[in-house]
Homo-oligomer: A and B are copies of this chain.
Amino acid sequence: MALNISSPADFHVHLRQGSFSELITPHVRKGGFHLAYVMPNLKPPITTTDQALKYKADLQKIDSDVEYLMTLYLSPDLTPEEIRKASAAGIVGVKSYPRGVTTNSDGGIESYEAYYPVFEAMQEVDMVLNLHGEVPSDTKTNIHVLNAEVQFLPHLFKLHHAFPRLRIVLEHATTRAAIEAVKSCGPTVACTITAHHLALVVDDWAGQSWNFCKPVAKYPDDREALRSVIKEGHPRFFLGSDSAPHPPHTKSTSTPTHACAAGIYTSPILLPLVADLLHSFGALQNLVGFVSDFGRSFYRRPARDGKTVQLRKIEGGYLVEERYIQGQDELVPFWAGKRLNWKIVES
């Protein structure tokens, strides 16, 4: 049994910097993808057109066969002028992180209003706003990692109402409430879903730091909602892996005073993993839509070159590699040592 997918696209990925980037950037294609929508949260963050173009050139030097769509990090430095410059230079989106917002005002995420001139310019030039949709935890108001996304949703509605033509992507949705919120919005609002949130629930990261990421995986009923919207083939829900590599020692050990790094690394096994997952919950018929067509359509990035990736079902499955090593850098992928059933046919 074989599947052909035209030019798979990962609409949310972290490709890091330096030698680490040299190890992981080739994993985009290794994982079956031809397009990477690249997050800007480097050190320092990518806040200008010039930085983004420089970063894009760095990535192209590592692997020129991937189409990199670049983003800027929403911060007080970002101006409407810079937005117009970025758009003219082919930069596609602006990513908002909760921290970037809270740094800016005591009122926390309400301060989106301070960015309205930027959003206005984005709407004019048709750039995409990518939202990390969580509000900061606060014990006084009972906000915590499990309800941080649900508490964010009013901000999504408010932004969509204020900028109905602005294309907005709620990134890495994890809750039934978020799925329903995005569904209820107009055609300018879409949503990415990661592979790992289709696999995990809260019990899986309780005491298991390798499965710990932000937003955290939620309850079984939430996972069911993510799976259902894919089964349904809803065109505004598509893959963004949020693949986020961290050195193994920051994932595997936590001292009494330091927590583990948040992030799950799926890039090198992404397409087979997604195929396995969709197969497991009866949505394999929507694989092409979820990993290519829907996202490409929302982002207006049709597959240009007719490249297809073929997946073949392996009888009995095969084991995911335990680690990837290059120089001083080492990475352990999600699903390490476990079995996958779909494999990319090497061309």
Interface residue? A203 (CB, 8 A): yes
CA distance A210 to B220 in the complex (A): 25
- The chain B residue with its CB closest to the CB of A219 is B144
Q: Return chain B residues, CB-CB under 8 Å to A143.
A: 220
- The chain B residue with its CB closest to the CB of A262 is B207
Q: Return chain B residues, CB-CB under 8 Å to A260.
A: 207-209
Partner of A202, one of B144, B219, B253, B262: B144
Q: A259-B208, A332-B256 are in contact. Are A145 and B220 (CB under 8 A)?
A: no
Q: Which A residues, 206 to 243, have Cβ-Cβ distances below 8 Å to chain B?
A: 206-210, 212, 216, 219-221, 223
Interface bits A134-178 vs B (CB < 8 Å: 1, else 0): 000111101111110000000000000000000000000000000
Q: Return chain B residues, CB-CB under 8 Å to A252.
A: 253-255
Partner of A206, one of B201, B220, B259: B259
Interface band, chain A = 35 or more
* Shortest Cβ gap from A262 to chain B (Å): 6
Q: Return chain B residues, CB-CB under 8 Å to A257.
A: 336-338
Q: Return chain B residues, CB-CB under 8 Å to A262.
A: 207
Interface bits A33-49 vs B (CB < 8 Å: 1, else 0): 00000000000000000
Interface residue? A205 (CB, 8 A): yes
Identical chains in the assembly: 2
Interface residue? A261 (CB, 8 A): yes
Q: Are B261 and A142 within 8 A (Cβ)?
A: no
Interface bits A185-215 vs B (CB < 8 Å: 1, else 0): 0000000000000000111011111101000
CA distance A142 to B210 in the complex (A): 23
Interface bits A329-347 vs B (CB < 8 Å: 1, else 0): 0001011111000000000
Q: Are A212 and B203 within 8 A (Cβ)?
A: no
Q: Return chain B residues, CB-CB under 8 Å to A144.
A: 201-203, 219-220
Partner of A208, one of B139, B201, B220, B254: B254
Q: Are B220 and A142 within 8 A (Cβ)?
A: yes
CA distance A254 to B140 in the complex (A): 32
Partner of A145, one of B139, B206, B210: B206
Partner of A207, one of B219, B223, B254, B334: B254
CA distance A145 to B200 in the complex (A): 13
CA distance A255 to B52 in the complex (A): 36
CA distance A146 to B137 in the complex (A): 17
Q: Are B142 and A202 within 8 A (Cβ)?
A: no
Q: A210-B254, A254-B208, A254-B209 are in contact. Are A219 and B259 (CB under 8 A)?
A: no
Show 13 A/B contacts (Cβ-Cβ < 8 Å), sorted by A: A137-B203, A138-B220, A142-B220, A142-B221, A144-B202, A145-B202, A207-B212, A207-B262, A208-B259, A209-B254, A252-B253, A256-B334, A256-B337
- The residues of A with any CB-CB pair to B shorter than 8 Å are 137-140, 142-147, 201-203, 205-210, 212, 216, 219-221, 223, 252-262, 332, 334-338
Q: List 17 other contacts, CB 8 Å, given A142-B220, A146-B202, A205-B207.
A: A139-B201, A139-B223, A140-B220, A144-B202, A144-B220, A147-B219, A206-B216, A206-B259, A207-B260, A207-B262, A208-B258, A208-B259, A209-B209, A209-B254, A209-B260, A256-B332, A257-B336
Smallest CB-CB A-B distances: 6 pairs:
A139-B220, A208-B259, A207-B212, A207-B260, A207-B259, A142-B221
